[in-house]
A and B are shown apart, each in its own frame.
Chain A
Amino acid sequence: MADQPKEVKLYGHGFSGYCTMVNSALKLKGVAFEYVEEDLQNKSEALLRLNPVYKKVPVLVVDGEPIAESLVILQYIDDVWKNPPLLPEDPYQRAKVRFWADYVYQKLVPPVYRIRTSEGDARKKAEEEFRANLITLEDGVREELWSAGGSFINGEKPGLLDVIMGSCHTGLKYLEDVAGVKLVEKDRTPLLCSCMEAFVELDVVKGP
């Protein structure tokens, strides 16, 4: 393929779901890259220089040029390395995938943050909010995107939403153990559970 970028480097952290998203997407597409594990308590000078706006991981650096923000990076990866595609071809389907991907960041990430950082009633409220929003995601994706066949929202192979939700699986399970509360109910969100479980079983995710 013409114009193949030469040097791809990912700055990340092992416990970050966002980094798992990018890591997995690159591996799914068979992209060779160097991985740099960041110490988030002691961020490298390189990271601060490459992401001065947010100073966070993940940052993908392609031929020396940095890209930050996981959803931006994922779309970039899909733009450059076409196979297998993470987004559908049809513009309306793409709009729906983007909507639900954005929903994860707008409606699931904030309550998770509050669960991790608050206590008592505030945390209970955040847990309820997360569960309710996860159900909304399940129902929305099931109605608008899913065509039965395969374990993933995208079908037989993972798409953008599978990468995003699948990459959150480990973190959610960990949070359930630590918080001692059920955040994901299989009977209420079967499709999301199926895609998350299938995702973590993928060779590219399990492997080194």
Chain B
Amino acid sequence: MAPPSDDLKLLGSWASSYTHRVQLALKLKGLAFEYAEEDLADKSPSLLLYNPVYEKVPVLLHRGRPVLESVIILHYLDETWPEVPLMPADPYDRALARFWCHFVDDKLGPAVGAVFASPSDGQAAAVEQVHENLRLVERELREGAFAGRRRFFGGDKIGVLDIVLGCGSYWLAVFEEVMEVKLVDPEAFPLFHSWLRDFEEQEEVKAIIPAIDRLLEYARGVRQMMLGLSTRQQ
């Protein structure tokens, strides 16, 4: 039985991994909410009203009050509904989780995005950046604070870092196909690969992440548009 969530609404976008993070967290916590799909090419007055600074999704509205930025929303959900905790209990583990969440958004995410945005003849450098960042994650899984202990960064169950890293990692497979590059070689990144596989097997994750062919179609469309734009600019 879902705990009373009194008036939760999420403004999001179906292909946004940041939106998926919040949807996944809400699902894990068993919180009911209303969802409103935003057309990012034609932003709603609500979005502009609630997030004037960034004009981005996701926006969580709780009793009409906006909470912005996906990781901040995850913290808010955890502090407001502490059952099914997403953050670790120990302060040092919390710091580690926050650090690696920051790393995902600061380094790994942009590196993956750069592969997608790279011109056909400039891929190699972008791909190497992704590999460099994945090597850091792999090393942390192998030798660092997360080594050997458990199935997920959050323990036996997925936690905030699994959510942040996982919702976005499916783009790796999508870009691999669209860009025809290898980003996650299971032999080079065995621990990351098996973690990702376990993450994607979770029922809640399967319910949230869009079907791969929808993501592929979307990515192909965006890629074509980007290439078309750069051709016209030459």
Contacts and interface: CB of A to CB of B under 8 A. Distances in A.
Interface of A: 52-53, 62, 65, 67-69, 71-73, 75-76, 79-80, 91-92, 94-95, 98-99, 102-103, 136, 140
Kindly name the residue among B65, B72, B79, B95 whose own CB sees the greatest number of chain A CB atoms within 10 A: B95
Contacts of A67: 92, 95-96, 99
A133 B89 CA distance: 35
Nearest to B82: A91
Contacts of B136: 52-53
Contacts of B92: 62, 65, 67, 76
Contacts of B73: 95
Contact of B72 (A68, A72, A80, A98): A98
A136 B53 contact: yes
Given A67-B95, A99-B68, A91 B53 contact: no
B4 to A, nearest CB: 16
B91 interface: yes
25 contacts: A52-B139, A53-B103, A53-B107, A53-B136, A62-B92, A65-B145, A67-B96, A69-B98, A69-B102, A72-B102, A76-B92, A76-B94, A79-B91, A79-B95, A91-B79, A91-B80, A92-B62, A92-B65, A94-B75, A95-B72, A98-B69, A98-B72, A98-B75, A99-B68, A136-B53
Interface of B: 53, 62, 65, 67-69, 72-73, 75-76, 79-80, 91-92, 94-96, 98-99, 102-103, 107, 136, 139, 145
A98 B76 CA distance: 10
User: Which secondary structure characterizes the binding site on chain A?
Assistant: helix
Given A53-B136, A99-B69, A79 B94 contact: yes
Given A67-B99, A68-B99, A75-B98, A99 B79 contact: no
Nearest to A106: B54
Contact of B67 (A65, A71, A95): A95
A79 B87 CA distance: 13
Contacts of B95: 67, 72-73, 75-76, 79
A191 B68 CA distance: 23
Nearest to A103: B53
A102 B67 contact: no
Given A53-B136, A80-B91, A102-B72, A72 B98 contact: yes
Contacts of A69: 98-99, 102
A80 B76 CA distance: 19
A161 B79 CA distance: 20
Nearest to A94: B79
Nearest to A96: B67
Contacts of B94: 75-76, 79
Given A67-B95, A99-B69, 11 more contacts: A65-B92, A67-B92, A68-B99, A72-B95, A72-B99, A76-B98, A79-B95, A80-B91, A95-B68, A98-B69, A102-B69
